[in-house]
Chains A and B, each alone.
Chain A
């Protein structure tokens, strides 16, 4: 009898339409080693949650939605940081692939167990990589961690030649300027096989969660990112003719 791994799950979203291509079942895994200033899901930080599911249970749940996900959709593992539960993640990814389900991980590229990383990438169809910052100093300021682990993941990802979506949250006063966007534009050139680059607008919808959890909100007073201003930055980032 096969022993299925089990993991801590924050929640399941049955209709994810923005985290990967098509309609996706999004599995939010519990636990994150980063403490990003703009994080809107502090309830996923803790390593342990009440919901424990086996890889088999997850795949069974995902399969219920086959009519919706079979045309270009699939499952996305997000979090928290899905790589934090590397062994469980790998087990689930393998089962998904066996069932013919398209897989995607939405990751910050940290918290992994290095022994599983190659296999995780092997069983993943798309990696959505969240870029927090492009230099070690800002990275530390934003996430509270140093950048070595991320850089190591980045190298492996580049080598794997997997399909990639890149994402960056844009926060007013922190990185909402043209100068940064131009640097970012240069930075992303090192990634092969990038299908999409998205700038995400910082929003304040997570504040309530901080209050509930009695945690200090560190970006107090910073307004949500203006959508038009974001569109302008996105244009600069994606426009090939400019620089």
Chain B
């Protein structure tokens, strides 16, 4: 095939195998960043237009909404920013930043979000949709049990994707570039032929799904043709490879509004095409950077319509267009290419930005030059996250990508059922209160004995805690099984599933919020003599801790072991029940920015935390509890088990003052490399890095206009600081900033 001229390898030519294509053709790059180029005039022109639109959007919250047409792969006219200067094209709608109405998840959510920004859905459209179409949300609530409803209402199980798109699927969008749509359709048709033994409903369901996927692939061809491209054939050069991949992703965000819609791991793949073009003499370094800059511009413009409630959970309008960079192929060769540098260089060329969510897959064995460049960019922009490739690669293979913040998926072969998280602190409080909610007084979990007595006893608490946990896990699983069944039924992501194997492996991703508080509370109960105060309803509402007790975050095994055992206990419960589509359970310790709102709805805790105070984010130690220095704090988090337990990710956010990191920029860069090496060698999974002075954030909170583009890492993603609520900003500032003493 002419498009494949010059490419090596056989296996990928005989069937879909992008990983084999990459292994056979990529060129590792181990030198430094001196080859990088600035942005071109074309990119400047396109980005200048975007900047104007983005600042307009920042004022109003939403720039525009399409209220006459609904979501779909090919429902919109082609849109441009600055047609003559765009080298990569394609927008979600006909205008940049104009948002799509997606009613399949739930119409009430659509109404609420439109209302919040002063829009109304076209009457005719709304009435017809209501009359003829049931939504995911309606399906879920038809099936929810009473137990689920009460647990949900009391914020025991929170943030469930029962009214918004579940997201977290990563299509292998590279497949469109490497093979073209026609071959992918051919393969799906072949798969369909093999599904002719109708043994049970799952086969019927799969036959319907694959048919939908084929329709989606045809629509993608139509959508691309509106922009003047024929994606039925493979991409024949670098520009087309990037364009095809982006079209495949674009179809996903035209059709769906998944909470996190990550784009995978594309830079090494792109680099193969770029290198081929440069060798042929048809592409210069400037043009290569231009392609990557403009690809990234497109990813920065992805938007979804959200309600104000949703923003409380996930602040700052995140889309989690996570692009995973680097990592190793095997024990000796890294997957770092020049394009790994080029994509980080977009932060120089078009400034810092929350999206795409640039994620560096770190290994001690990565080329030193790349480690240094990534660290340098992290220090300069506070927009990168780092995840442990040496931990994930053995479990997910070398061609995996991060979905959302910390969830690894083998690209094209695995997908995930997103499950938000339980409020773990409530599990503990229900154990103290006979299964009743400490705020509403509702009986949420039945069959729990009320704990009596003035002082809390570890064994007694643990006994009730286990009972609450057992029942909570069952309710949680029931909820997720219902949600994903209904999501498949009413809001199926055919355009994304078209880029996965027909029978992918499913992971069901459960989550926990408030780990540090529960660990510290058990430590307080054991070492601190906790005396309880009960209100007239008999509910425990306040605690007196009489003695000092070890706290998670100080590298003290007395409590760090408690934290590790707690997550193991949870995972053990989750493994006990069958999951929808035979999914394998995984667990994450991640909160996004919801740690603030979870805290708000949660009563006082035995560790001394007052009612309403935010939880710490992800697996971070409680704000201010880590008093033994940064390495002690990092070491505590590193002990939380990833393998065979928290394989959906363990998020940690680390903030350090520039002066504490080193005297000059070169020393800071080298020190950050060493911190990351040490942290990941200790078995840790993830780190958000913010090299910032606390004073700067306080100033930014009070004078937002001075810092229009200030971006910081929060739990698992980067966010424009100004787009956080005051409460969320205060929580970020209250976190431990490691400084010189």
Contact = CB atoms under 8 A, between A and B. Distances in A.
Q: Do A and B bind each other?
A: yes
Interface of A: 11-15, 17-18, 22-23, 25, 64-65, 67-69, 71-73, 198
7 contacts: A11-B741, A22-B674, A23-B674, A65-B635, A67-B679, A68-B674, A68-B678
Given A18-B659, A67-B682, 12 more contacts: A12-B628, A14-B555, A15-B629, A15-B631, A15-B738, A18-B660, A18-B663, A23-B671, A64-B635, A68-B631, A68-B678, A71-B678
B630 interface: yes
Contacts of A12: 628-629
Contacts of A67: 677-679, 681-682
Nearest to B741: A13
B359 to A, nearest CB: 22
Given A14-B632, A15-B629, A23-B631, A65 B661 contact: no
Contacts of A69: 678
Contact of B631 (A11, A14, A71, A72): A14
A25 B632 CA distance: 10
B662 A17 contact: yes
B635 A23 contact: no
B663 A198 contact: yes
Contacts of B679: 67-68
B631 A25 contact: yes
Nearest to B739: A205
A62 to B, nearest CB: 10
Nearest to B684: A67
Contacts of A68: 631, 674-675, 677-679, 682
B414 to A, nearest CB: 30
B537 interface: no
B663 A65 contact: no
Contacts of B193: none
Contact of B674 (A13, A73, A198): A73
Contacts of A25: 631
Given A12-B628, A12-B629, A25-B631, A18 B675 contact: no
B52 interface: no
A17 B660 contact: yes
Contacts, number: 60
Interface string B716-741: 00000000000000000000001011
Contacts of B674: 22-23, 68, 71-73
| Top 6 A-B residue pairs of the complex, sorted by shortest distance between their CB atoms | A68-B678, A14-B629, A14-B631, A15-B630, A67-B681, A67-B678
Nearest to A41: B741
Nearest to B629: A14
Contacts of A198: 663
Contact of A13 (B629, B662, B675, B681): B629
Interface residues of B, number: 24
A13 B582 CA distance: 48
Contacts of B632: 14
Given A25-B631, A67-B681, A15 B663 contact: no
Q: Which of B631, B632, B663 has the most CB of A within 10 A?
A: B631
Contacts of B630: 14-15
Given A25-B631, A64-B555, A15 B675 contact: yes
Interface of B: 555, 628-632, 635, 659-663, 667, 671, 674-675, 677-679, 681-682, 738, 740-741
B678 A18 contact: no
A23 B740 contact: no
Contacts of B681: 67
Q: Which of A12, A15, A25, A73 has the most CB of B within 10 A?
A: A15
A68 B555 CA distance: 14
Nearest to A71: B674
Contacts of B678: 23, 65, 67-69, 71
Contacts of A65: 631, 635, 678
Nearest to A65: B631
Contact of A18 (B635, B677, B740): B740
Contact of A17 (B635, B661, B677): B661
B88 to A, nearest CB: 40
Contacts of B671: 17, 22-23
A69 B631 CA distance: 10
B707 to A, nearest CB: 21
B391 to A, nearest CB: 13
Contacts of A14: 555, 628-632, 635
Nearest to B661: A17
A153 to B, nearest CB: 25
Contacts of A11: 741
A101 to B, nearest CB: 14
A198 B682 CA distance: 33
B4 to A, nearest CB: 43
Nearest to B674: A23
A18 B662 contact: yes
Contacts of A18: 659-660, 662-663, 740
Contacts of B741: 11, 13
Contact of A23 (B555, B675, B682): B675
Nearest to B627: A11
A123 to B, nearest CB: 24
A72 B740 CA distance: 20
Contacts of A17: 660-662, 667, 671
A12 B555 CA distance: 12
Contacts of A15: 629-631, 660, 675, 738
A201 B678 CA distance: 30
Nearest to A28: B741
A227 to B, nearest CB: 10
B411 to A, nearest CB: 30
B478 to A, nearest CB: 42
A65 B554 CA distance: 12
B363 to A, nearest CB: 14
A198 B681 CA distance: 32
B576 to A, nearest CB: 35
Nearest to A17: B671
Contacts of B661: 17
A16 to B, nearest CB: 8
B215 to A, nearest CB: 52
A71 B555 contact: no
Nearest to B676: A68
Contacts of B667: 17
A38 to B, nearest CB: 16
Nearest to B633: A14
A1 B86 CA distance: 76
A11 B627 CA distance: 11
A35 to B, nearest CB: 20
Contacts of A71: 674, 677-678
Contacts of B663: 18, 198
Q: Which of A17, A65, A68 has the most CB of B within 10 A?
A: A17
A127 to B, nearest CB: 19
A73 B662 CA distance: 13
A98 B679 CA distance: 24
A22 B628 CA distance: 19
Contacts of B631: 14-15, 23, 25, 65, 68
Nearest to A70: B678
Contacts of B635: 14, 64-65
A73 B738 CA distance: 18
Contacts of B738: 15
A134 B638 CA distance: 47
A72 B671 CA distance: 10
A67 B390 CA distance: 15
A65 B630 CA distance: 11
Contacts of A23: 631, 671, 674-675, 678
Q: Which of B678, B679, B681, B738 has the most CB of A within 10 A?
A: B678
